[in-house]
Every structure is written in C-alpha cells, then in structure tokens.
Structure 1
Amino acid sequence: MVGIGGSRGIDWTGERCVPWADDVQVIYEHYHRYALAARYTFGRRVLDLASGEGYGSALMAAHATEVVGADIDEASVAHANARYGGPGNLRFVTGSITDPDLLADAGKFDVITCFEALEHVEEQDDLMRLVRNRLAPGGVFLTSTPDLLVYTHEHGNENPFHVKELTEPQFRALLGGSFEHVAVLRQNVAVGSVMTGDREHGPILSQQLRRTGEDSWAVGTGAPHTYLVGIASDEPVEVPAATTLLDPDRALLGAVADAAATPLRAEIDRLTAENGGPKSQSRRLIERYRTRRRQAEGPVAITTSEEPVVSVVIPVHGKWSYTRRCLQSIEDSGTRVPFEVVVVDDASPDESADLLAACQGVRLVRAEENLGFLRAVNFGASHARGELLVLLNNDTEVRPGWLDALTEVVRGDGEIGLAGAKLVYPDGRLQECGGIVFADASAANYGHGDDPDDPRYRAIRDVDYCSGAAIMVRRDLWERLGGFDQRYSPAYYEDTDLAFAVRAEGFRTVVVPDAVVVHHEGVSHGTDVTAGVKKYQEINHKVFAEKWATALAEQAEPGTSLWLARQRIPGRTQREGEFVLVADVVIPTPDRDSGSVRLRTLLDQLVAMGHRVVFCPMDESPRQPYLDQLQRAGVTVLLDSAAREQFLHEAGSRIRLALLSRPTVAWHLADRLRICAPRARIVFDTVDLHFLRLSREAELVERLGGAIETSTMLHQRSKLYRELELALVRACDRTLVVSEAERDLLADLAPGAPVSVLSNVHTVGPEATPDGRPGVLFVGSFDHPPNRDAAYWLAGEIWPLVRREVPEAVLDLVGHDPTNQLRTLEGSGVRFRGWVADLAALYDTARLAVAPLRFGAGVKGKVGESLAAGVPVVGTTLAFEGMRLRDGEEVLVGDKADEIAAAIVSLLTDDALWSRLSRAGQTAVTAQFGPDVARAALTELLA
C-alpha cells in the first residue's frame, strides 16, 4: 500500500480536484474515473498524465506494479511526492503532457490515464502521439473530457482554463484516430436509488424520475450525462455496460443536473445521411435541365430604366442559349438600383442578333464586323448612359442582389474605382474571390476550387484585379483611361491591366463577395491555350509584364503564401500591409450588448485606418446576420481552429498587433502567438476586470443575506479569474482596460505592467430637447447578472417610490435574453419591451435612462449610449465608475432606492435641469468616448 504523508502543499481553488475539496460533486466525479481505471491496473505499469494532487495515482498504485504521475505544475508534483511518494511503487515527475520527450527513457506502460486534461490542451494530436509512443502493445488508454454540447452549451458553464472542448463525435474521432477499439461511457453525478442483484450478467436498466406537478412524478428511461469517459486500445477490452460509485454515508447536496438525453439523435443521423448526397451531382442535373429547357426558348423581357444609374454591357458572339440564361438571370435577380442592359452583337454567326432585337428592355448595339471581345466591350461601353459600368460576360448567370451589392460598395466609397463579383462555377465550387498578381506577372484566383461560402471568402477586400467576367467601374474613370487597352486585343489580361490602371489613378479595386455570379468559364474562348483566342492568354502575359514592370516590382514573389500575397492596404500601392488579429469569445452582436458595440467599432476603425483585420471567434458558430455584416465591413473572419492555424502558419510572421479580448481568449492564444507571430504586439483587452465583477457580486449576495454556497462559489471564481487576469497582465505586451479606475487598480496589483485605457466608443447625436419625452428607460442585456439584479431592484423597490410622486410615469425595460421571472415585473407602470434591434427611436422619446447597478466592473455602455443621445442618466456610483461624470453636473447619482427615485422624479418634472444635464452629458461623451479618442489609442498600439 502507498502511504500518505506530508501536509497540504496546494490549495483547493475549484479547478484541480483535491481530497479535501468542499465540492462533493467534484469528489464523486474524479474518484469514480480513477476507480474505473483501477480495474485495468492490477499488476501493470501505469502512467497517469496530468496527475494533479496525486490522489488518483495513489489509488491505482494500491494494486499496480508501478505508477508514475506526471504534471506540469511543480507545486503539485512536490506536494504529491511528499504526500504519496517514497521508496514504494509510486513517484511523480514534472512535465508537459504534450512534450514528446516526456519520460522518453522510462520504457513502455501497460495503462495510461489522462483525466480532465484534454480540454486544457490545444494540441490534442500531440497528446495522442505521446500516448501512442509510451503505451505498450495491447495497452489501454483511459481519458475523459466534458461534453461540449452539455457542459458548455446546455449547462452554460464557462471555464476560463478550457481551451478546446469536444463533442462526443469529436471525442470518438480523436480516440479512433489512434486506436482500433474505442468505447465511450457517459458520466453524471446523480441522486436517486440503486438496486443490485445476484446475477453476474443481465440487461442494464436506467430510469429517471421527473416532477410533473406539485404532487406528481413521472418515470422515464435513460440517464443524463455531463462528461465523457473513453477507453481505447488496439486489442478488445472488456468495458462495463454501466458503473456506479456510491457514497452510502453522505448525500449529495445541491441541485441535480438536468437530463441531457437526446432522443432524436438517431433520427437526426438518419436524416443527415439521407439528405447528405453530393451537392455537385444535384447541381449538374439541374444545370442540364436548365440548359435543355432554355435552348428551346425565345426572347427575354427585362425591366430596365430610362434613367439608369448602372449600364450593364454584355458582348455577344453567338451561343444564344447562354446569352438568354444570362439575361433571364438579370431579370430574376430582383435588382433595386435603376439600370439598363446594353448588348453588343459582335457579328454573331447564329440567330442571336434577331432574338436579341426581340428582347424587351435590351438596348441592342450591332457591330458591322467581328471586333473581338475587347473591342466589343469598348464599343458597347461607348453607348452606356449610367454613371457606373458593369462589364458582364454572356456566359454568366447572376444571383439575386448582385448588382445592388456592387453599386452600394462603389457609390459608398469614393476611393473605389473598380469592384468585382465573386465568381462561382456551375457545380458550386468557387472560381475566384478576387485575383492576385505576382512579380513575374503570373496570376492566381484567390479561393479557386474552394467552398464559396467559406468565411474566408465573405469579406470585402482590396485585390490586385478581378476577372472581367463581372466587374463594375466608374464610367468617368473608364472614359479617362480610354476603356480596355487595345494592345491586349482580342482578349486576355485586359481586365488585369484595367485594375492596374485604376490603381495608378489613385483608386482602389475590391472584390464584393455578396455579388455572386455563376461563370461558365471557357464557353467563350475554349480552354486550349495554343489555339484560337485562348492563345492570347500567353501572348498578352508578356505584354502586360512589359507595360507594368515598375508596378510589378512591388508585387509578391511567385510562391509567396496566398495569405500574404493577397494582402493590400486599402488605397495604397504597397503590396504587403500589416495584419491585425482580433479575437473574442463570439462574433460581436452590437444590437444586443455594449461590449459588442465597442468591439465592432474598434474593428471598423482598424479597417478604416488601412489595416488588414482578421477576426477569430473562439465560439465557431456562424452567428447571423452579424457574421455577414462583419465580413461586408472588410473583416476576414476565421470561424474554425483549422483556418486559424493555417493563418498563423502562413502569415503569423506578418502580424503586427494581436488584440485578445477577455481572459479566456488571451490565455488560449497568447502562448501560441509568441511562437507563430514573433513580431506581434500581444495586447490583452480585459473588456472589464472579471475578478472584480465577481468579487463585487459575491459581496452583494452576502450583504443581501443570500445563500452562503452562492457567495462562496462567486469568491472562488473571482480568485480563479484574479490569478488568470493578473498573470496575463504581466505576460502580455500591453493590457487594455476601459477606465482609469481599473488602470489604477492594476497599477497596484501588477506594478510595472504596461496598462492603457481604451474605453467604449460613442458618437454624439444632435442636441436634444425635453419636449415629447414621456418615457423612462432601462437598457441592458439580461444574460448579464448585474443587469438582471438592477432590473429587479428598479422595478421592485425604486419604481413604486417614483409612482407615488408621478403616477403616470412609465418604465420601459429593454434587453435580450430575459428570464420568465423578469417578465413577471411587468405591470404598475412597468413595460417589458424585450429585445429592440434599433434603440434610436426609444432614445428619441425617452425622458431619462436609469442605471441602478449594484455590482459589476468596467465602463457601462448603456450610460455612454444614453448620454450620447442627449438622454440624461440617473444611476449608482458604480454605474458611473471610471467615467469622470459629476453628480448634478452631467448625471444624477444615488445609491439607495429613495435617492434614485428622487433623482428620477426631478428629471421628470424639471425641464431646466433636464436640458442642462443633456448638453453636459453629450459634451462629456465627446471628450472621453468619441471616435477620435479610440482612434488615437489604436494608433498608439500600432506605433
């Protein structure tokens, strides 16, 4: 037996299990895993990876030949050796579970365990390689991890130390990639009853009991789970159908986890398999049907305008079926912008001219002789009337919204001279999302052959050129350049030359991914580069290289990573600009929370400053419409870890700034960036100090006489975040906080660490007047605990005091993710509005806003937003923390219910006070939180 000696050399923090933990659920979960592992360790050599405090290694050592525990934390290893080690069969060593040299000379182990560590490791494949290298033939590997869908998504757990959680299919795939035989057990702590029999074998019956009413219960089948336990080997292993660990002397205290059984999983799998056939095959069948149907059809009627903003010019030389499909797609696209269609019949050998003449809405221009593609386009453009030209091949089919998207981008930015569509093959593959030109005049289509819906191809970007199959150019610029340069006649490189000429005139060329056009490439000129018009592709390559030799010298060399080669600073001629990597937990949702407003504003400012901005959300779900909005703003979004790793591998050396929002994200990425992006300035953006917010919430619970378990849990979480956040403050190149108060606090806690203030960003509206403003407004995201508490306090205690003085007063509670309990606040002058997409109309009619926050941290976005709109604010001292706002000058302050109520009544009844606070509040916001303030801070970070 292994002896136990020594004192407690490490503390119970809530993250690493220790035998004296006061959380009995953690004890049950962790000991159960090691108890299961002990079934396989009798007389075996065992390696326990991430051994922690050492209790599990000691448990297995009771019957194993030898157990070696390995952990990265030196204090834990020292404690484990002192408490459990000695001359016996158990020892502990310090090392990383992803280090390929860990215990390289220790020989093979019969059993390897690694419990509750996978989720802490980004490089999980490295861990699996270590396991394979250290495991004896036929050995057994046991591991566990929380189920991402249950632990995080269903239960809402937020663990700052988890960097890569897995779903059950991902967990099985990880183990299945290294072992022939894999079994997965599902684990959950439960309260209930156990029956045992005297038969060794038999079916396992799992049932669950649910309350269906105050005096009724129902029995169902199945068992909920939170964790996954894997048992893997290259040889068949006996795995129990079920396993229990009972504590007959102590009952589990606290809430019981909700059932997580998923009865529709089998049906979903069946439907997925049934409907998951190849997309390309379906598209090809549809394409054949359309071709045969339209070949037999006649003219097309298109709804065009006599006062067009856009002139669509289409050169045609035969192939009526393609031309008709192109014209029909234009009519079907539902375009809002006024446009005309000018079709050049370039001496077609078939009946195209006669059919075009019969197409209502089409302006037909006939060439007396075959001009060739380039000259035909110039000829057609000379007949255009719109301020914008679109040059469109007849072997294209446009998708809805294409022309509006191009027009919005070009008309919305006077620096853009040329914009191209995203071209897609008929089978659904991406043809190009902009083009890249290298120093030798060779070119590449960005994204060729990929999925056109990949987030990498959703951002508006500056490019070297766009294929002339579908481009928009300003007509005055086109005429100033003389159209396509005729030295490239009859075709090829004229579009690339045009883009370089546009750049030489000081304009930008961009690709607009929302403008999607299907291109039947090769229909016009074939694919043989040695014959016909196609041979000019090689000839004109040389012509282009000679004409633009000076400009080409600034292009990337052939073979350069496409991540680098595609980068261009908007509005400049230099090829390679700086990268800015921004990461946060989720894609910003600026109409739902103030933190997202701040982040989205910073992203927009970085793009406007001319930087190439890449955004990485740790949550990989494509939140719409916010993802599309961000990409349309020119931000490249990398939704999955594979894309992020590719970016870091190919372009990490060019990252100039890495802005990591929130401690979980910074902890996840900072070390990786040190390796992959050695030039990058790594900035930890706290958003707010999490440990401070949690500590204040715990103190409020205690002050109000709340449950001791709740305050204890909050204090533990605060301690965890304090350790994490201060470590990041010391490790990162700079830390951002949103207030001077938080900067001063960090100066005391982490002396010498560089900390700057980059607060919320607000644009002040026009001067407001008090007339026609009857409402009182509370705005806040209700999934944020400080806001929920404030809403309860305001509606339950403060508002009745207001109504005594102003009986007609009405309070609007506005915010998303409300609980059912919050909805019960409605009544007696309280209206629950829920989520409102655009708050502008509410601010226009609000007399004042209230921010009765009793705990929290950071600068409150709801305060700045209200003041910027000219709406005075009543709030607690905490609500105005770090904002340099004075009671009675810019805002009204109260920390008790009667004080806040009195301030609300004053603003409801005193127009002079209202007007003075409204003007002063807007002035204060401009000085502290205006866009220029944030832009200056970002400029300093990039200096």
Structure 2
Amino acid sequence: MSMSWADVRFMLERARGLIRRGLASLRTRGLGPTWARVRRQFARRAPPIAEPLWFPAAGPFAPFTVPATEAPRASIVIPVYNQATHTLTCLRSLAAHRAAATCEIIVVDDGSTDETGAWMPQIDGLRYHRRPTNGGFIAACNDGAALAQGDYLVFLNNDTVPQPGWLDALLATFDAHAGVGLVGAQLVYPDGRLQEAGGVVFDDGSAWNYGRFDSPDDPRYASLRDADYCSGAAIAVPAEVFREAGGFDARYAPAYYEDTDLAFSLRARGLRVLYQPASRVVHLEGITSGTDTGSGAKAYQVRNRDVFAGKWKDALARQPQAGSLPTAGSVVRPRRQILVVDAETPRPDHDSASLRLVNLMRLLIDDDAHVVFLPADLRYAEGDTDRLRRLGIESWHAPFATRPAAWLREHGPRFDVVMLSRHYVAAEFLPLVRRFAPQARVVFDTVDLHFLRELRGAELANNASLRRTAERTRDREFALMQQADITLVVSPVEREMLSTLLPEVRADVVANLHEMATTGLPFEQRRDLVFVGGFRHPPNVDAVQWFGRHIFPLIHARQPDIRFHCIGMGPPADVLALQSQPGIVVHGHVADLGPYMDGARIAIAPLRFGAGVKGKINLSMAHGQPVVATSCAVEGMHLTDGHDVLVADEANAFAEAVLRLYGDADLWQRLAGNGRENIARHFSMEAARDTVQRVFRRHGRSE
C-alpha cells in the first residue's frame, strides 16, 4: 500500500513530538538517560516468536503411564473409533506434558476393530471403556461424561496433539471469568496454520471456522473472546452444567452440530461461550470422518444443519447473514467496541498509570464492551501483551499493524468510542481518528496534566527555559481538550482547575484504580521504609534524591536500625549513588512488591513537584501500609493530615513524622485503617464504575 497524506501527516506530527520530548528530556534528565530513551524508541520491532509446535516421537506401541487421580478436577473424555495410532499420539502428548491440574483420562471405544482394544488396557492410569456396539460420536461422549468424576468435562478428539499448558489454560478461564459455560481451545493444523479461533454461526444455521488458514498469532485470533461456538475437538464444560443441559443432544446422532447446539443451549441459560487462544491444540481435521460432506459420516453435517436451524430458529434470526465475511469487528457485535491508544503496552507491575489503564479496560469489559488496544510504538510486549489478551482485550502490534493510518483506515469504522492517552499520543492520533472513525466519541485521557507537572518542576528549579516548555505543553494539552469530546483527569483538583481555565471543556474524573489487598504483617513484625516509583518519571528521581540526601540522614542518626528500600525501574546513577550512605538500599525493579508492601512499616512519598494522583500512595494504602508524604504528593487524594496520612514539606518535619509514626503503634493502626477506607471510597474499581459507564456507554459524538 502506498504512503498516503494521512501517513505523512502522522509521521510529521510524531517527528515534532519526538523532538519536543527529546529536548525536554535533555533539560530535565541529561544526556545519558535521554540517549537511552532514544535507543528504546527506535529499537527494532521484533515480531512475536511463535512457540514451535510439539509432537511426540513416533514409534511402536509400548506401555506407558498417563496422569490419573482419584479426585480429578478435570475428566478428559476421548471418544475413539479405530485410528489407534492417532489415539496413541494424543495420549503420549498428555503423558509427556502433565498439567498442574489434577485430571483423569477416559478413552471411550465406540466399537473399534483395530489395535485400540489391545493397546489401551496396557496404558497405566487410563480409564478405558468399550461400548458394546458402535453408536457414534455423541453416544460415546455422553457415555464418557456419565463415567467422569471431575468437576470439569474436557472433550478431546483422538486426532489431536494437545500442546504444553493447554489444559491449565482452559481451566484457568473458568477461574478468571464469571458466568462461563464452555471454553474452547485454539485449533491449529500440523503445519502451524490456524484451523479455528472459535466458530461463527450464520442466520441459516451454517457455520464458519473463524481465522481458518491465517496465522494463529494474528491479534484478531490471539485474545480471549466470546464465540458463537467452539469445535468439540477440544472444549471444557463444568460437569454439572453439561448434565443439566442434558449432554450432547441425541437428535444430531451420530455426529455433527452437537457442539454448536450445546453452545447455543448454554447461552440460552445465560452462560458464556469463550474461545481461549492460550490453549493450543493441533487437530488433524478429518482423520476419522473425512472431509467430503456428500458421503459417509460427514454427510450428517449437511442433514444436521437443517435440524439445528429448526431448533434454534429464533436465536438464528439475530445471527449475521449467511455469506457475509466475518471480520474482527463483526465477530464481537453487538457489543460496543472501544479503542484505547497509549504510548506503549501498559506494564501494571511497573507504574501506576499502567495499572490504572489496565483496570479501566477491565471495567469496560465488565460493562460488556469489547476493548481493542493499540500501542503507539506498535511493539509486541510479550508478557504484558499476553496479559491483556487473557483479559479479553484485542491487542495489536507489528507486524500485523505496521502503520497507524492504514490500521485505522481498516478498523476505524468499527469503534463506538476511541480513548487516546497522553497529549503527545493524542496529538498524533486524533486527526487520524476524526478521519477514519468519524462516528466515534473521542475521549482524551490526560493521565495527569503534564503541563502542571512540568511547570512545578520549572518553579522548583527556577528555570525559565523549563517554564517556557511547560507553557507550550499547556497550549497543546488545552488544544486537544477542545478538540476531544470529553477529557479525563485523575483528580477533582485538576477538574476544578480546568473548569476555571477552560469552562467549555467537558471533563470527568477517573482516578487511580486499585483492588483492595491483604493487610500484611502487623505493626510489631514490620520493619523499615519503602519508596516505590519508576525513575523514567523526573519527580520520582528528585524525591528520592531529596529524601536520601536531606531526610534519611536525620532518621538514621536517631534510629540507625531503620533501612530505606528504594524500588523502581531504571534508577539513574545519582540514585544508585545513594547506596553509599548507611541504611539505603536501591533495588531497581522488583517483580513482586508483596514482601515490601506487607513487611515494610512505612511508605514514603517525598515528592516536591508533580501532578495527578500518586499510585505509590494508593498502592501502600490498599495494603494497609501507612504513608508519610508531602503536600504535593497528597494533592487531590481526599487525604487529611493525621487522619489517614502524615504530611510534611520540610526535611526536618518529614523526618520527625517518619520517626513518630515508626514508633507509635496506635497511630500506625489508625492511619492504616483509615487509608484503606480512603482507597475503597475513592480509588477502588467500584468507585469509578458509574463514571466509566457514563463516559463510555454513549455512542457517537453528539450524545
């Protein structure tokens, strides 16, 4: 595709933004950190590395052992009719990569005449059931379900090769999502091409394997998603739900459409049918019944379509028209579709803005929206991208999205709402959104008021050049607010400021979003001080340096057993140098903050400039960890000095507040309890739910 004017305009705006941010970074961070950011920005975008498919070694039959237990969580039911070699391959796969979940394996032999009857009894741990006569796939599956002892029934074709982790991924879906009645795996061909990413059913009862022959790593097929049905080659169903539904409907005997019928039956009961791409299964399609629908067992597929269409006539009236081509947008209709664009894929373990964004998208999903995420850097972020996909967020990246303009030209018409995060991202994308998604309501998420943070930093440094930079940022942010349909800020203080400066702009508050955590150790068992904050954020660098150089020495002189733990990604040399002082430990990034949230006695937030609400304070308070902070740090957070936080702005006063709280168990307990109440009241998921629904439920710009 040739370069369009929209592409050129986008690239020019991106270049201007990079130059502006680069110069600002040079002034505030210096050459070394700025060069590191430049290298990161222009690093080669590597595509995701697809896991190679695993196949067991071929060889003659020899006895082996498969997983077995007397109290299984899952019962894997494998119906078979001849094809003993394929059954053997399937069982070898299950034996080679055992699931974390307890399971039993039941092979139901539907009257085989080959080696099946001789081999299966020799496999230790296998429950082998031989039917007296051949009754077909449905009868064999229902027999296996009647024999099963597990909480979940997992129906698995014998012509499959389950990949490592497939079963645990299926079962984890029931744990992570409410109201789920059936979960299906991603089916792939032996050559790695996609066979099915959930099925689509049309209004005449015909069906389509969504994604057939495409890449299984394509973002359209790589996230958890509701599906019309999932092929019975690899599905999981709660055993009680399956039995209440009457099992597979015998009217479709001997086979075909029973899986589609079950999915419709479960949805009619208010349960969800989900496609889970994290569960990957190789399927040798057509091994048992062939692929010719004009003869043999496969002919029942044609007959049963009419049976299915008659049974579900009313439900099919709401399905897409036969002959229409399923797309990424059509397979999730009629749900609202919301596009979220941020600078990069959020990393909720690294910074509070990422945690807020992920939890905001979770709220949108809870409100029955389909969320699509596009990182402006187009990078695949491995675990962080996969985390979004497990939540059901359709997450895009290169090489499947290469140019924002081209991507929005294709996908823009599907979106009801587009949220653009951060002013430099919104400046690049808003013209594209207005052109390619004119129907969409545009939400500008400031994350925090960047100009306010920059202006306060300039005032602290008494730097006229930084002040002029902050004023230019203010002008850009204000222009974007005037162009967007609604602006999100993170605190009432920022909303009140905008109501004065820009009364024509509609602004709403979505603060940091947190889930209440366990309260950790009691006062007597806690030790030390902790600071958590990423060092790509200049206010955090200044805060730690000020605390380490001017406040902690006062604390250490009076109580030398107290240590200060500094946690955050990318500490610069000046912060690392603080470790030369007794009692200061700079950890850098810590994957698991739990021990520090649950075991450190006090969290500190000594910020001298900044904007927005501070995730480090929210995080600690959600864990029942009291905080000593500056006035700047608690701005807009509904906190009161002495009630749920201690506030001090001078070095001596800050040190005194830390020492007082460190030694006063009653004060510590009072602040801990009141801090958790503050989180529940103002910063919990529930507290933001009404605002999120008000902003994102509306369709179009004029509502």
TM-score normalised by L of structure 2: 0.90
Deviation at 1:552, TM superposition (A): 0.3
2:514 aligned partner: 762
Match of 2:388 among 619, 627, 630: 630
Match status 1:892 vs 2:659: no
Match of 2:195 among 407, 431, 439: 431
Match of 2:294 among 526, 530, 550: 530
Letter in 2 for 1:792: Q
Whether the 8 Å CA contact 2:24–2:469 is kept in 1: the answer is no
User: How has the CA–CA distance of structure 1 residues 324 and 855 changed in structure 2, closer, same or farther, with 3 Å as cutoff?
Assistant: same
1:4 aligned partner: none
2:22 aligned partner: 157
Unaligned runs of 5+ in 2: 26-30, 699-703
Match status 1:724 vs 2:486: no
Whether the 8 Å CA contact 1:774–1:846 is kept in 2: the answer is yes
Whether the 8 Å CA contact 2:201–2:319 is kept in 1: the answer is yes
1:183 aligned partner: none
1:807 aligned partner: 560
Deviations 1:458-484 (A, max 9, x none): 221111100011111121222222221
Match of 1:685 among 435, 439, 445: 445
1:842 aligned partner: 596
Letter in 1 for 2:492: E
Stretch deviating more after TM superposition (742-751 or 532-541): 742-751
Match status 1:695 vs 2:695: no
Deviation at 1:909, TM superposition (A): 2.2
Equivalence map 1:344-423=2 (5 Å): 344-423=108-187
Q: Secondary structure at 1:344's aligned position in 2?
A: strand
Deviation at 1:647, TM superposition (A): 6.7
Stretch deviating more after TM superposition (868-877 or 512-521): 868-877
Deviation at 1:457, TM superposition (A): 2.1
TM-score normalised by L of structure 1: 0.68
CA distance in 1, matches of 2:683, 2:385: 26
2:67 aligned partner: 303
Give the structure with higher Rg (CA): 1
1:452 aligned partner: 216
CA distance in 2, matches of 1:898, 1:255: 33
Whether the 8 Å CA contact 2:405–2:432 is kept in 1: the answer is no
Deviations 1:240-267 (A, max 9, x none): xxxxxxxxxxxxxx999979999xxxxx
Deviation at 1:648, TM superposition (A): 4.5
Whether the 8 Å CA contact 1:422–1:511 is kept in 2: the answer is yes
Letter in 1 for 2:483: A
Letter in 2 for 1:611: A
Match status 1:664 vs 2:424: yes
Whether the 8 Å CA contact 2:99–2:167 is kept in 1: the answer is yes
1:9 aligned partner: none
Deviation at 1:635, TM superposition (A): 0.9
Q: Secondary structure at 2:5's aligned position in 1?
A: coil
CA distance in 2, matches of 1:356, 1:259: 60
Whether the 8 Å CA contact 1:561–1:650 is kept in 2: the answer is no
Whether the 8 Å CA contact 1:318–1:348 is kept in 2: the answer is yes
Letter in 2 for 1:119: M
User: How has the CA–CA distance of structure 1 residues 474 and 853 changed in structure 2, closer, same or farther, with 3 Å as cutoff?
Assistant: same
Deviation at 1:817, TM superposition (A): 1.1
Whether the 8 Å CA contact 1:458–1:632 is kept in 2: the answer is no
What is the percentage of aligned positions where both structures have the same residue?
Answer: 41
User: How has the CA–CA distance of structure 1 residues 158 and 674 changed in structure 2, closer, same or farther, with 3 Å as cutoff?
Assistant: farther
Whether the 8 Å CA contact 1:564–1:576 is kept in 2: the answer is no
Q: Secondary structure at 1:563's aligned position in 2?
A: coil
2:329 aligned partner: 564
Letter in 1 for 2:334: E
Whether the 8 Å CA contact 2:626–2:675 is kept in 1: the answer is yes
CA distance in 2, matches of 1:505, 1:775: 53
Unaligned runs of 5+ in 1: 1-96, 101-113, 123-144, 161-253, 263-267, 568-574, 703-707
Deviations 1:651-688 (A, max 9, x none): 54442222211112222222322233333221100001
Whether the 8 Å CA contact 2:61–2:119 is kept in 1: the answer is no
Deviation at 1:528, TM superposition (A): 1.4
Whether the 8 Å CA contact 2:545–2:574 is kept in 1: the answer is no
Match of 1:789 among 510, 523, 542: 542
Deviation at 1:603, TM superposition (A): 1.2
Match of 1:752 among 504, 512, 515: 504
Deviation at 1:923, TM superposition (A): 2.1
Whether the 8 Å CA contact 1:458–1:631 is kept in 2: the answer is yes
Equivalence map 1:731-750=2 (5 Å): 731-750=483-502
Match status 1:478 vs 2:478: no
Aligned length: 678
Q: Secondary structure at 1:804's aligned position in 2?
A: helix
Letter in 2 for 1:495: D
CA distance in 1, matches of 2:308, 2:569: 56
CA distance in 2, matches of 1:257, 1:645: 28
User: How has the CA–CA distance of structure 1 residues 480 and 909 changed in structure 2, closer, same or farther, with 3 Å as cutoff?
Assistant: closer
Whether the 8 Å CA contact 1:300–1:324 is kept in 2: the answer is no
Larger RCO (alpha carbons 8 Å, 6+ apart): 2
Match of 2:630 among 855, 863, 876: 876
1:333 aligned partner: 97
Whether the 8 Å CA contact 2:528–2:562 is kept in 1: the answer is yes
CA distance in 2, matches of 1:698, 1:672: 33
Match status 1:586 vs 2:344: yes
CA distance in 2, matches of 1:471, 1:643: 37
Q: Secondary structure at 2:220's aligned position in 1?
A: helix
2:658 aligned partner: 904
Stretch deviating more after TM superposition (322-331 or 756-765): 756-765
CA distance in 2, matches of 1:457, 1:918: 45
Letter in 1 for 2:653: E
Whether the 8 Å CA contact 2:108–2:131 is kept in 1: the answer is yes
Stretch deviating more after TM superposition (770-779 or 909-918): 909-918
Deviation at 1:118, TM superposition (A): 7.4
RMSD: 3.1
Q: Secondary structure at 1:542's aligned position in 2?
A: helix
CA distance in 2, matches of 1:261, 1:803: 39
Deviation at 1:844, TM superposition (A): 1.8
Equivalence map 1:112-151=2 (5 Å): 119-120=11-12
Structure number having the greater helix percentage? 2
2:701 aligned partner: none
Deviation at 1:733, TM superposition (A): 0.7
CA distance in 1, matches of 2:569, 2:681: 30
Deviation at 1:777, TM superposition (A): 1.2
CA distance in 2, matches of 1:874, 1:259: 32
Whether the 8 Å CA contact 2:10–2:429 is kept in 1: the answer is no
Q: Secondary structure at 2:321's aligned position in 1?
A: coil
CA distance in 2, matches of 1:897, 1:917: 21
Match of 2:279 among 503, 507, 515: 515
Equivalence map 1:58-73=2 (5 Å): none
1:798 aligned partner: 551
1:571 aligned partner: none
Whether the 8 Å CA contact 2:220–2:394 is kept in 1: the answer is yes
Deviation at 1:819, TM superposition (A): 1.9
Whether the 8 Å CA contact 2:210–2:326 is kept in 1: the answer is no
Deviation at 1:919, TM superposition (A): 2.3
Letter in 1 for 2:515: T
Deviations 1:226-251 (A, max 9, x none): xxxxxxxxxxxxxxxxxxxxxxxxxx
CA distance in 1, matches of 2:66, 2:138: 25
CA distance in 1, matches of 2:407, 2:203: 22
Match of 1:612 among 370, 394, 405: 370
Q: Secondary structure at 1:606's aligned position in 2?
A: helix
CA distance in 1, matches of 2:481, 2:99: 52
Match status 1:443 vs 2:350: no
Q: Secondary structure at 1:343's aligned position in 2?
A: strand
Match of 2:5 among 72, 84, 98: 98
Letter in 2 for 1:421: A
Letter in 2 for 1:319: Q
Letter in 1 for 2:5: T
Stretch deviating more after TM superposition (855-864 or 648-657): 648-657
